[in-house]
Amino acid sequence: MGYRTHNPGRLANITPRFTLHRAPISRYITLVARLEGISLNDTDGKLQVDFERISVLYDNTKIGYIGIGAAALFFGFIIWELAAPGYALVWVSAVFLTYIPRVILSIQFARKCASEKLGPHNAGPWERYFFLASIVPFIVFSSAVIIPFGENSLIALLYYSIIVMTLLAGGILAYSTSLPSLFLFMSISVLPIVAKSLLVQELLFTVLGLTMLFGFVLLSKLIPRMHKLLLENISLKIMNQSQSLTDPLTKLGNRRRLRLRVEDLIPMSVRRKDPFSIILLDIDNFKEYNDEHGHNAGDAMLIKVAEILLECSREQDLVVRYGGEEFLLVLPSTDTEAAVVLTERIRTAMKDETDITVSAGLAMHLKDQGFDQLLERADHALYRAKQGGRDQYVLAHTV
């Protein structure tokens, strides 16, 4: 393994080759904003909460399909016994057919999440898609109340009411992260029972209708409170994840966040034959700076360096505080030449905006190389830059 040392200004005429597209980010990492510590009242925070609750909605619905299928088959049997086999076959078939579009929608959502094509900034419309895809199947299922049962109407309605209340209990859990979908399900399921019970104008039917209406009103009051608590829990979850992945001083990522990002990056880089590079950067003579200016000034300088690194890097790059005065940049879809351009940009910004200099070691990921080996190469290059007089970078390469 050999190294090549570069003096300042040598590549000043190279045109930056960075593309400003948004790179895929793993589902877990996207829950954390690029600038850690932002309030969940900010736009990015709301998008994170929305993405999480919509993901929970689709995940919960997978189990809900089993409940809907079992309920349709059970009440289909009731229709078969108390009304006519023809009604049963038509109703059950219609229920299953109208749920197919929503099942397909759920599959598409899962696939897009797995392929990292969905994140906080584009998941919002999927709640509306879910709502629209639910209208027809909910209406078809509730059409069971208009099936003519003759003298068995009360028994059939009681059976149907029990099934609806059971499904509603599950639906409150399944749709709890989406108030529009939950109230749609509750309204279409319960109100037809109430209407039919009151229209019959018989005592037992009236009691059933009033009981269902009371339950509907009660749930309408309680569900928004439950929804609010659920959103608070999601927000707390995001905040806890953010804190566990963030350096408290600079608000950059920490080593744990680095490891999570690398778990996705290396397989993706190998699969797409798309190289990535890293820059290991260290503030020169930082101990002396602390001794001369004090630790508060040193902390302020670390924060300023973090800001400069974020300003110079792209959105898809990961900037990490790796040690005391040591920083690491992970650059997806970046070869060594582009990494050099970014390093020069950073060094120039440091000189323009601060009174410190930095040294850096650069390394590009090689096939069949683990991340620890890549870090070792960058660390060795950084050591050479320090030994060579500081205020420079060394590019590691194989020979």
Q: Residue 304 belongs to a domain with what CATH number?
A: 3.30.70.270
In a domain, 37, yes or no: no
Q: Is there a single domain that holds both residue 18 and residue 86?
A: no
Q: How confident is the model at residue 7 (pLDDT cuts 50, 70, 90)?
A: very low
- The pLDDT of 260-282, averaged and rounded, is 86
Query: Between the CA of residue 339 and those of 34, 345, 362, 387, what are the distances in Å?
Result: 20, 10, 7, 21
Q: Is there a single domain that holds both residue 317 and residue 381?
A: yes
Distance between CA atoms of residues 239 and 318, nearest Å: 19
Give the residue carrying structure tokens 């229709």.
79
pLDDT of residue 194: 93
- The pLDDT of 122-136, averaged and rounded, is 94
Q: Is there a single domain that holds both residue 263 and residue 363?
A: yes
Q: Is there a single domain that holds both residue 155 and residue 303?
A: no
Q: Is there a single domain that holds both residue 9 and residue 74?
A: no
Whether 116 has a pLDDT exceeding 90, the answer reads no
- Three-state secondary structure readout of 338-380: HHHHHHHHHHHHHHHHCCCCEEEEEEECCCCCCHHHHHHHHHH
Q: Is there a single domain that holds both residue 219 and residue 283?
A: no
In a domain, 36, yes or no: no
Residue 365's domain spans which residues?
2-27+248-397
- Between 32 and 131, name the one with better pLDDT: 131
- Between 280 and 229, name the one with better pLDDT: 280
Domain count across the chain: 2
Average pLDDT, rounded, for the chain: 84
Among 226, 244, 262, residue at a domain's last position: 244
In a domain, 22, yes or no: yes
pLDDT of residue 397: 66
Among 211, 244, 277, residue at a domain's last position: 244
Among 195, 213, 244, residue at a domain's last position: 244
In a domain, 344, yes or no: yes
Q: Is there a single domain that holds both residue 219 and residue 338?
A: no
Q: Is there a single domain that holds both residue 161 and residue 199?
A: yes
Q: Helices H, strands E: what count in the chain?
A: 11, 6
Query: Could you tell me which of 186, 206, 211, 183 has the C-alpha nearest to residue 196?
Result: 206
pLDDT in tens, 329-373: 999 989 989 999 999 999 999 999 999 999 999 999 887 788 899
Q: Is there a single domain that holds both residue 48 and residue 98?
A: yes
In a domain, 33, yes or no: no
Whether 25 has a pLDDT exceeding 60, the answer reads no
- The pLDDT of 290-301, averaged and rounded, is 92
- Between 198 and 240, name the one with better pLDDT: 198
Distance between CA atoms of residues 275 and 265, nearest Å: 10
Q: Is there a single domain that holds both residue 96 and residue 82?
A: yes
Instruction: Calculate helix-pair angle for 295-312, 286-293, nearest 10 degrees.
Output: 130
In a domain, 175, yes or no: yes
Q: Is there a single domain that holds both residue 218 and residue 258?
A: no
Q: Is there a single domain that holds both residue 20 and residue 56?
A: no
pLDDT of residue 325: 92
